[in-house]
Chains A and B, each alone.
Chain A
Amino acid sequence: MKSNPKKRVDAAPKTIISITGNDPNMRMDAWWWLVAAVVVVTFLLVVFQPDPYQRILIYVLDGIGLTIGVTVISFILTLIAGMIGGLGRLSKNRIISGAASLYVELIRGIPLLVQLMWWYFAFPAIIRDTGKALNIGFMANYLPDGTIMAIIGLVICYAAYMSEIYRAGIQSIPKGQMEAARSLGMTYVQAMRYVILPQAIRVILPPVGNEFVALLKDSSLVSAVALADLSRRGREFASNQALPIQTWMMVALLYLILTLVSARIVGWIERKTKFER
């Protein structure tokens, strides 16, 4: 038995290490302190300055729900679509891999905000025009559901980035793993399912976690297509009440709580699924 299996290089960013040292448990505590600090500040503001902070919080509460809902649903769909895209880019079939590459390149070249506009304004207009031209009533009167269009836009954009993450993760698994699986008689799909993907998922967990946090923040762009998310509710309150400083501070704190907590959860999952190579 090998005396001391090589210690895994930690994937955490350098800044974190330099702030709190190398013990992973210590590091976790330090970052939970930051989460706690932000929560406490928010709590103090709401309790001791209920006017305006409690009013703001109550006003934007449904926006928080919408932000979380849109983010979680979009993220789950992104995980699935990204896997399909990543496997597509790795396909030996030129048409499939070409189509997947084209999708990734196109989507990554267009700002998310423009994509959201496209799904909310341009896409329904195309359907209406087609409906009118072909005299199909329900298409001619098509009105998009804002939430669905926002989720479609987020998923199609984020899945492009996610498929690159999947592709890199799958490619990082040594070729011998696939060959060993195939030599035992497993089909390509079985080898992917039982051998390659379980290893690739552990590799891609840190960047996938980052994507979740990024998606959470980018979901604020859906406010531009009339969705009443956290940032949209904040903007409404700020302009109704003429309280820009307090409102945007509260909104920023609420986003911070969401992102910091999700980053901690991601880190916790990473540690849970770590294994010796």
Chain B
Amino acid sequence: MDAIIQIENVHKYFRGGIHALRGVSLEVGKGEVVVIVGPSGSGKSTLLRCINRLEQYEEGKIVVDGIPLDSAANINAVRQEVGMVFQSFNLFSHMRVIDNLTLAQRVVRKRPLEEAKAVGMDLLAKVGIPDKADAFPAQLSGGQQQRVAIARALAMNPKIMLFDEPTSALDPEMINEVLEVMLDLAREGMTMVVVSHEMGFSRAAATRVIFMDEGQIVEQGSATQIFGAPTQERTKAFLSKVLHH
């Protein structure tokens, strides 16, 4: 398997002595869809944010698509290849949807405006809201905003997409429209690392489910294995809580 993300023994400490990641190692292959689950505070977001260096880590090594995350130039190079979708969407609120989609294409990828717009419009059609190009983010529903956020990341033609609880800020009726877009991406062979407790998505798309607790990977396997027959006590305890909901 061709590892496009290699994480080796990463430790992360926050101010105040919080040891958020305790020696995490993980390899993600090209085209894999890895779903991370685990209790609040277990370090899921921190791990995800280390992959594109939104968070620094004190120990260990991360290599993305052959580029080690060790210099400012490399970090920017990696970020251009890695799209990220946040729980709170984080659309640029002063810009129309189309400008959200073209900004990074223009200033980072140096694409001409017309080309960037064409890419943006294609992606808006793909995520199902081609009519919202001229809207401001505040005029969109949460589900629509998150789909724009996904399109914005895709506009950079990333090789990897990271999702940090993309549906947990959404009203229930909007969760599916976002999951649909993510499922499409998975089917097209995008490499994805997804923090999400949406088991339907995991069952349909995950090549691997990882259970994290207290800054460590406790257990991993297929969705059927992890959700159906977990081997570790901590996994069982966590799943019993989540499944009740």
Taking Cβ atoms with an 8 Å cutoff, the residues of A that contact B are: 1-2, 5, 174, 176-177, 179-187, 190, 194-195, 198-199, 202, 275-277
Q: In chain A, what residue has the closest Cβ to B162?
A: A183
Which residues of chain B are near A179, meaning CB under 8 Å?
54, 86, 90
When distances are taken between beta carbons in the complex, the residues of chain A under 8 Å from B86 are: 176, 179-180
Minimal beta-carbon separation of A93 from chain B (angstroms): 14
- Contact of A277 (CB < 8 Å), options: B79, B82, B84, B138: B138
Supposing A179-B90, A180-B90 touch, asked if A276 and B54 sit within 8 A by C-beta, the answer is: no
Inter-chain CA distance A250–B185, complex, in Å, is 72
Interface residue count on the B side (C-beta < 8 Å):
29
Q: How far is the CB of B154 from chain A (nearest CB, A)?
A: 11
Interface residue from B108, B140, B149 paired with A186 (Cβ < 8 Å): B108
Give every chain B residue within 8 A of A195 (Cβ-Cβ).
92, 103
Whether the pair A185, B108 counts as a contact (CB closer than 8 A) is yes
- A138 to B: closest C-beta gap in Å: 45
Q: Which chain B positions have C-beta within 8 A of A2?
A: 138-141
Residue of A nearest to B135 (CB): A1
Alpha-carbon gap, A202 to B139, bound state (A):
19
Chain B's nearest CB lies how many Å from the CB of A96?
Answer: 17
Question: Distance in Å from the Cβ of B36 to the closest Cβ of chain A?
Answer: 17
Determine the chain A residues whose CB is within 8 A of the CB of B140 once the complex forms: 1-2
Note all chain B residues with C-beta closer than 8 A to A185.
76, 79-80, 104, 108, 156
Judge whether B42 is part of the interface by a CB distance below 8 angstroms.
Answer: no
Q: Are A1 and B152 in contact (CB under 8 A)?
A: no
Which residues on B sit within 8 Å (CB–CB) of A187? 76
Q: Which of B133-154 contact A (CB under 8 A)?
A: 136, 138-141, 144, 149, 152-153
The answer to whether A182 and B138 have CB atoms under 8 Å apart is no
Taking CB atoms, residues of chain A closer than 8 Å to B79 are 182-185
- With contacts A182-B79, A183-B82 known, is A275 near B88, CB below 8 A? no
B235 at the interface (CB under 8 A from A): no
Cα distance A202–B92 when bound, in Å?
Answer: 14
Closest Cβ–Cβ distance, residue A56 to chain B (whole Å): 47
Contacts A1-B139, A1-B141 given: A176-B90 contact, CB under 8 Å? yes
- Docked-complex contact B94 and A199, CB < 8 angstroms: yes
In the complex, 14 of the A-B residue pairs with CB atoms within 8 angstroms, ordered by the A residue number, are A1-B140, A1-B144, A2-B139, A2-B141, A176-B90, A180-B91, A183-B54, A183-B84, A184-B83, A185-B108, A186-B108, A194-B107, A198-B94, A275-B93
